[in-house]
Amino acid sequence: MRILVTGGAGFIGSNFIRLLVKEHPDWHITNFDKLTYAGSQRNLADIESHINYEFVKGDIADQEDVESVFAGGFDYVVNFAAETHVDRSLYDPQIFFKTNVLGTQILLERAIKMGVGKFMQISTDEVYGSIKPPDYADESYPLNPSSPYAASKASADLLVNSYYKTHGLPIVITRTCNNYGAYQFPEKIIPFFIFKALNDERLPVYGDGSNIRDWIFVEDNCKALLAILRQGNTGEIYNISGDMMISNLELTKAILANLDKPDELVTFVKDRPGHDLRYAINASKIKRELGWNPRVNIEDGLAKTIEWYKNNLDWCRSVCSSEYREFYDIHYKDRQ
């Protein structure tokens, strides 16, 4: 089996490749990644010498790069490559549409030409927008994205579906809730707050911290993705939930408690514009059809994650490039 994983040097992609190597050591894995500020080959240092793994640097939004990497053909394509941070999409939206929409279209076009067996698009619960209680969004819920990031992901989902309807490309779309775990870039709330707390710095909670997210341990998500890749029905969408909905303030206090740091480190800052209040998905389809369930609860997952970051402070320093720091310093002043 030959599999192309785009964006495999990022957080979820690298965890997914690690799972693939464990579960399917005979599959030939090509990791195709532009290595933006969010991607690093250090995330896969432990498997880079695996005989069936190769890394190719390239951009999914560059036709020549994509044609070149597809030369030998693939049985599976899994598209993780994306710009992923909502806050950055507020200040610099164009790259989100270039990578997340145009890049996906270039991959789809190539996948048709090369007769790919299955194209799996990695999407997000953010495409549904903020969900009012008591609703939970199932896979047929209307798309109502709020941020440019979410709008770009929703656009890509529609595009992927159009290649199924028009060209019969065997696709599947996954929509997962917020992931956490090892190798997550420290701009996202959990690793960001772990580092702040370890340094006794203030943790900037947006608004009043009542926004609710559903959290899944990344290894649980990767198992769900692999199950969908192997057994998911063509043309279908699968929601993936961690069954763990908590507010940002509760989450922040759990991080502080684990690190034995005082709640006084919490500081409420100006809210994120268009900040979705509540993400809530109904993920009964994957449980019913594929028998997958999340296994790691938030207490254990958070403890494991915090332990990993404490033991990998060098990793954090090395991935936080000057490009990332400059962007952060310019745009996030009011959130420090």
| Contact string (CB under 6 A) for ligand TYD, positions 208-227, x = contact | ---x-x--------------
What are 94's two structure tokens?
């164009």
Tokens 């894995």, residue located: 29
Encode burial over 297-315: b for 16+ CB neighbours within 10 A, e otherwise: ebeebbebbbebbeebeeb
**How many residues at the interface with ligand TYD, by CB under 6 A?**
12
When asked if residue 178 is in the footprint of ligand TYD (CB under 6 A), the reply is yes
77 binds, among ligand NAD, ligand TYD, none (CB under 5 to 8 A by kind): none
Active-site option among 59, 126, 214, 276: 126
Return the range that interacts with ligand NAD (CB under 6 A); candidates 55-63, 200-208, 275-283, 297-305: 55-63
Give the residue among 321, 333, 12, 281 at the shortest CA–CA distance from 143.
281
Q: How many CB atoms lie within 10 A of CB 158?
A: 12
List the one residue from 27, 55, 195, 206 that touches ligand TYD (CB under 6 A): 206
Active-site option among 83, 125, 214, 276: 125
Residues 224-283, interacting with ligand TYD (CB under 6 A)? 248, 272
Nearest distance, CB of residue 148 and ligand NAD, angstroms: 13
When asked if residue 192 is in the footprint of ligand TYD (CB under 6 A), the reply is yes
Active-site option among 37, 76, 136, 149: 149
192 binds, among ligand NAD, ligand TYD, none (CB under 5 to 8 A by kind): ligand TYD
Instruction: Determine the 3-state secondary structure of 173 from DSSP.
Output: strand
Residues 128-157, interacting with ligand NAD (CB under 6 A)? 153
60 binds, among ligand TYD, ligand NAD, none (CB under 5 to 8 A by kind): ligand NAD
Determine how β-strand 28-33 pairs with β-strand 171-176.
unpaired
CB-count exposure of residue 334 (10 Å: 0-12, 13-18, 19+) = exposed
List the one residue from 77, 82, 203, 244 that touches ligand NAD (CB under 6 A): 82
| Contact string (CB under 6 A) for ligand TYD, positions 140-159, x = contact | --------------------
When asked if residue 9 is in the footprint of ligand NAD (CB under 6 A), the reply is yes
CA distance 188 to 178: 10
153 binds, among ligand NAD, ligand TYD, none (CB under 5 to 8 A by kind): ligand NAD
Q: Please check whether residue 34 is in contact with residue 60, taking contact to mean a CB–CB distance below 8 angstroms.
A: yes
CA distance 184 to 14: 10
CA distance 121 to 244: 23
Active site (annotated) includes residue 126: yes
Return the range that interacts with ligand NAD (CB under 6 A); candidates 130-138, 174-182, 265-273, 284-292: 174-182
Q: How many CB atoms lie within 10 A of CB 230?
A: 12
Contacts of 60 by beta carbon, 8 Å cutoff, 6+ apart:
6, 7, 32, 34, 66, 79, 81, 99, 103, 104, 106, 107
| Contact string (CB under 6 A) for ligand TYD, positions 70-89, x = contact | ----------------x---
Going through the chain in order, the beta strands assigned E by DSSP cover 2-6, 28-33, 53-57, 76-79, 118-124, 171-176, 178-180, 203-206, 212-217, 236-240, 245-247, 266-269
Contacts of 108 by beta carbon, 8 Å cutoff, 6+ apart:
119, 159, 160, 163, 169
When asked if residue 110 is in the footprint of ligand TYD (CB under 6 A), the reply is no
Which positions touch ligand TYD (CB under 6 A)? 86, 178, 188-189, 192, 204-206, 211, 213, 248, 272
Residues annotated catalytic, as ranges: 125-126, 149
Which positions touch ligand NAD (CB under 6 A)? 6-7, 9-13, 33-36, 38-39, 59-61, 80-84, 99, 103, 122, 124, 153, 176, 178-179, 185
